[in-house]
A and B are shown apart, each in its own frame.
Chain A
Amino acid sequence: MEHGQLLTAIWAAIIAFAVFAYVVMDGFDLGIGILFPSFAVGEERDKAMNAIAPVWDGNETWLVLGGGGLMAAFPLAYAIILPATYPLMIAMLLGLIFRGVAFEFRWRDQAHRPWWDAAFTIGSLAAALAQGMTLGAILQGITVVNNAYAGGWLDWLSPFTLLTGISVALGYALLGSTWLILKTDGITQQHARRLAIWLGAATLIAIAAVSAATPFLANDYWRRWFEMPDVLLTAQVPLLVAITASIFFWRLRRGSEAIPFLAALVFFLLGFVGLAVSLFPYVVPRSVTIWDAAAPPSSQLFLLIGAAPILPIILGYTGWAYWVFRGKVGSKGYH
């Protein structure tokens, strides 16, 4: 592999990492937002909020790195995907606004707290659905002519994208419920455990449905997943999902506090690997590869020189911040 290609591959890996970090970290924040109406008003809601209040902002920053990194390293992909999913992007951004301000506003305005709690849930749900549907829209393909988006503004809407939207929302809710098992105790934890059983089952059904539907979107996906000899490798993905699922339900019933969350992370990781199998090296399926979309080596190298030492430092102090707030959460808040 020549230098330019290696750089591009490294950047694809970094952006994939940023997107994955975002999905699982903000995933549990958004999941708690989605599940918020099921928590009792008062102490239970306050605890659920406090379980994520110190970390949500850092979690969300990975989304900015995903977007900003895409523009820097793969400007063509950024310039095609965002107009193609325009209403989804707007819905996601507006959802994230409602979700983000609710953290502070609900403590500042006793009279309208139910409103901001509703904003927290609706915003979280809108962002989750929009992100899931964006994933579906990319998978089903985007009309590209002359290196620009050439479709209409509702091309992304289809039964498949509805399926991926709901699937991601369910998966986030699973992450949220298992995070609460880890961070709470007593009645709230029992509540989270009951939710996790149902959401675990629903997420597995969703994974199965999306996996079953994807090969029918395009012949290329079918070939990648089911033709010999690739099938020997690709078949390991569903096998690992099945193994993780058994561990998840077994440990959940045994009262384990950390394993359900870790197993949910593995579900997402395997889903992510599945996506890579379907897409690589395309960033827009069947029309734009990472090599086509890449910024010139001088741009990618300039950013990599900084990113290589800085990313581990970011992971270090992010880990420290999580460590500071380890343990079970209280209901008081600082407000």
Chain B
Amino acid sequence: MGVLANLDSVLLARAQFAFTISFHFIFPAFSIGLASYLMVLEGLWLRTGNGVYANLYRYWLKIFAIVFGMGVVSGIVMSYQFGTNWSAFANKTGPVIGPLMAYEVLTAFFLEAGFLGVMLFGISKVGKGLHFFATCMVAIGTLISATWIISANSWMQTPAGFAINARGQFVPADSWLPIIFNASFGYRLVHTVLAAYLTTALAVGGVGAWHLLKDPANIGARKMFSMAMWMAALVSPIQIAAGDQQGLNTLAHQPAKVLAMEGDYDPSPDGAPLVLFGLPSNSEGKVRLKVEVPKLGSLILKHDPNAPLPGLKDFPREHWPPVPVVFWSFRIMVGLGLAMLGLGLWSLVARTRRRLFEWRWLHRAAVAMGPAGFVAVIAGWVTTEVGRQPWTVYGQLLTSQSQSPLAAPAVATSLVLFAVVYLVVFGAGIVYVLRLMAKAPEPGEPEPPNIPQRAAGITPTPSIHPTAFQAE
């Protein structure tokens, strides 16, 4: 506390946002992917009647319930934090990004919450078809939610379609289309949703591989591992291409961010190298101990080895983002992305040789990569958000002008409270998720949708038939 209270309140508020959003982001990254996976599993079960899908549905539904719950409660914190810690930002940008976030509530949060109860508890009450409909609504809700919040976030990165009114607020200039579909929105949405799918595929694949190592004959483990490896093999190359495209988009609109990611302090008139590793230092204005490949940076960013690139020194010193953070988080993300691609290709080789369920080193690698998606998602988020600094609205509103009129001790106290509560509560939640994952999927997977309530009056028999959801 003593140390924290001496820091300035902007830094404390930033630390609070970074901490709470990083924790929060883990849960939707998983629940977006899991909701779609559950939709696929239930759909396959209804179509094929194969009980293994029903068992996997029940297995992952229990995990989904915990993850989704943690996402909800940590998300409410985010929606109020704009007002508590960043009230100047909220007042100035409210007329533009407020409606985007309110649309997220109206079109996504209510949809998810309204159908979640039926998804978790309602199978014996509504029958298979309606239950599947509820699962679909929850899955679609998570995607709508991602769309709106990414639009709002992207507007902060590439603001467009606004004017400034007499009170100093950002207001829509004319049409809402350039605001919603701002320059980085599409790239960021694709990259983020693919990241959620890939994260979930790796987590599911890791769990499947874990149980295959213990019992290669477990039918549920085989099925989930196979499905997950298909996703890893198909989505990771698409994701790398999407990331490349977003990089080009960022170079066009937020060049200082890309230069920080690359560690390019000095301009490169004859083509920029690709710095593989090194120790960037803003105070010295250079990367120490760097290992670089000549011309490769320009080849990636400009698709031409000799294309000139600017350097951070072309920008005012006070507009540099904290380079070491961005430089390293970017490398962590890219490194993990390449590892995911490797895992996906390895699984394809195993599959073509009909050894997908036999190659134990592949299974061990999949277990090791189980958490990789979460790390990559956080690293990517840090890259894009820290890379936006020192602005909240890029090029328009400085972070230092966005804060609430609060004294540092107030922000420090709430930061400590959030840290303690999150570590205890979400730490426990993650332990509960891991415990569920440690149990192998069984043919008679305990029925998640039991009957929490007794129906009033007479309900048509089929809808409350106790075996309505049992595996054939």
Contacts and interface: CB of A to CB of B under 8 A. Distances in A.
A65 B106 CA distance: 7
Given A101-B429, A295-B94, A326-B456, A314 B171 contact: no
Interface string A285-318: 0000000000110110011001100110010011
Interface residues of B, number: 81
B105 A299 contact: no
Contact of B102 (A69, A79, A89): A69
What DSSP secondary structure best describes chain A's contact surface?
Answer: helix
Given A80-B87, A299-B99, A314-B114, A72 B94 contact: yes
A64 interface: yes
Contacts of B79: 64, 67-68
B126 interface: yes
Contacts of A97: 73-74, 77, 421, 425
Interface in B367-418: 404-407, 410, 414, 417-418
Interface centre among A79, A97, A100, A334 (most CB of B within 10 A): A334
Nearest to B455: A327
A80 B83 CA distance: 8
Contacts of A314: 106, 110, 114
What DSSP secondary structure best describes chain B's contact surface?
Answer: helix
A78 B83 contact: yes
B109 A61 contact: yes
Contact of A299 (B114, B172, B429, B450): B172
B84 A334 contact: no
Interface size class of A (residues with CB under 8 A): 35 or more
B73 A332 contact: no
A53 interface: yes
Contacts of A153: 406-407, 410
Contacts of B96: 299
A314 to B, nearest CB: 5
A83 B436 CA distance: 40
Interface centre among B84, B167, B406 (most CB of A within 10 A): B84
A81 B414 CA distance: 17
Interface string B62-98: 1001100110111111011011100110111111101
A330 B95 contact: no
Contacts of B452: 50, 53-54, 325, 329-330, 332-334
Given A61-B109, A64-B105, A83 B76 contact: no
Interface in A34-73: 50, 53-55, 57-58, 60-61, 63-65, 67-69, 71-73
Interface centre among B102, B171, B425 (most CB of A within 10 A): B102
Interface stretch (B115-123, B214-222, B240-248): B115-123
Contacts of A326: 453, 455-456
Interface of A: 50, 53-55, 57-58, 60-61, 63-65, 67-69, 71-73, 75-76, 78-83, 86-87, 89-90, 93-94, 96-98, 100-101, 103-105, 108-109, 112, 147-150, 153, 295-296, 298-299, 302-303, 306-307, 310-311, 314, 317-318, 320-321, 324-330, 332-335
Given A57-B72, A71-B94, A78-B87, 10 more contacts: A64-B79, A69-B102, A82-B84, A83-B404, A90-B417, A97-B73, A101-B425, A101-B429, A296-B95, A327-B453
15 contacts: A54-B120, A58-B117, A61-B105, A64-B76, A65-B102, A75-B90, A78-B90, A78-B91, A79-B83, A89-B83, A98-B421, A148-B405, A153-B410, A307-B102, A321-B115
